[in-house]
Amino acid sequence: MPFVRLLHFVVNTETGLEPVGYRRIILAVGYLLYILRAPCVYVRLALQEIVDLDQRRYQTWIGRLRTVVQALPGRVEFPPPQELLVERRVERLMEDIVKSMDASLQGEVDVTNRLELVHGRTEDDPDGGPPRRVVRKLRHYLRVYNPGHRAGAEPAT
């Protein structure tokens, strides 16, 4: 049987769902943002301690997060230790991770010959602007507006 390349990434581009690996990274960075926004001073001190331990080369979740982020395609820059305590810098890290995810998914679509119809696809802007390229989105053709049209929607008797 010849090698068949799986098109699992199409699920992400057509439904708007994030790939599991990226989702886990986004959750970890989201937790870091949650800590930075917490009003409790002890939470902030605990984060400072984790950053200090990481600087001294102890194994921490920040160090593991750095390793994973630096391995992402697109060369996402992980902030230096003291910038991890700056909310705006961590928000920028989150944005960079999402851009990396979208670029990775679009790259997968663009190199797949079986998806020629969606190469360079654009979506209408809901605000009336010019069409724009949207990598991940729940596409209109996947919506089922009439619940009776869903397969298996018949009530059990």
pLDDT of residue 5: 59
**Mean pLDDT lowest for which of 26-40, 53-67, 79-93, 124-138?**
124-138
Sorting pLDDT into bands at 50, 70 and 90, what band is 128? confident
Domain membership of residue 66 (yes or no) is yes
More confident residue, 26 or 157: 26
Domain that holds residue 108: 12-118
**Three-state SS for 132?**
strand
State the average pLDDT over residues 80-105: 96
Please calculate the CA angle 112-136-14 and round it to the nearest 5 degrees. 65
User: Could you give the residue ranges of the DSSP H alpha helices within the chain?
Assistant: 9-15, 20-37, 41-55, 61-70, 87-110
Asked whether residue 144 is assigned to any structural domain, the reply reads: no
* 38 domain-assigned: yes
Q: What is the pLDDT of residues 33-75, one digit of tens each?
A: 999 999 999 999 999 999 999 999 999 999 999 999 999 998 8
Residue 113 forms part of a structural domain: yes
Pairwise CA distance, residues 81 & 51, whole Å: 6
On whether residue 154 sits in a domain, the answer given is no
pLDDT at 124 > cutoff 90: no
Residue 100 belongs to some domain of the structure: yes
Please provide the average confidence, as pLDDT, over all residues in the chain: 89
